Amino acid sequence: MYLCHLPIDVGSLRQVVGAKSADKVDVFSGGRESPELEAKPAEKPSFESLASTFLKLADVRMSETQKAVLRMTAWLLRFHTLTVTGLADQVSRRGSLPYSTAKWNLHALMDMGLLVGGDVRKRGLQASLTATGRMLADHLWQTEE
């Protein structure tokens, strides 16, 4: 078993937290005795900060395959009217992915709220990206290496 010590910046404090001592250190208190007495109401985040955070989080947490499928989906749906099954077929052919991988990743995008379309109960519905899905796809196109 490997133990690591992680430096954690907490405001002006810097504490080294080991795996065994992590549960003993309250990194959110900033070393103050009663944070609830000094707490200030949080400001409401702006749309820009929320969007920026969302895009960064999605970029880090999505697999490269999910990103590629989302980009391909956005491109295909600009020119074609497809069901999720038809979309999986086209993503598979054009993206050189196995059909099952394309279908699985499209369903993952649906679970994330980035894509809507038919399912087992609602067959034949047209697939489309949500506004969030389009925004993320555009971001991924712009940042593609």
CA-to-CA separations, 50 to 13, 57, 58, 62, 105, in angstroms, rounded: 27, 10, 12, 18, 25
Sign of CA dihedral 71, 72, 77, 83: negative
All domains in the chain, ordered by first residue? 5-32 (no CATH), 62-143 (1.10.10.10)
CA-to-CA separations, 113 to 1, 47, 67, 137, in angstroms, rounded: 38, 18, 14, 13
Residue 34 has what pLDDT? 52
Residue 2 has what pLDDT? 43
Q: How far apart are CA 127 and CA 84, in angstroms?
A: 5
Do residues 23 and 44 lie in contact, with contact meaning Cβ atoms separated by under 8 Å?
A: no
pLDDT (tens, 9 = 90+) of the chain, 145 residues, equals 444 444 444 444 444 444 444 444 454 555 555 555 555 667 888 888 888 888 888 878 889 999 999 999 999 999 999 999 999 999 999 988 999 999 999 999 999 999 999 776 777 789 999 999 999 999 888 887 5
Q: What is the pTM of this model?
A: 0.64
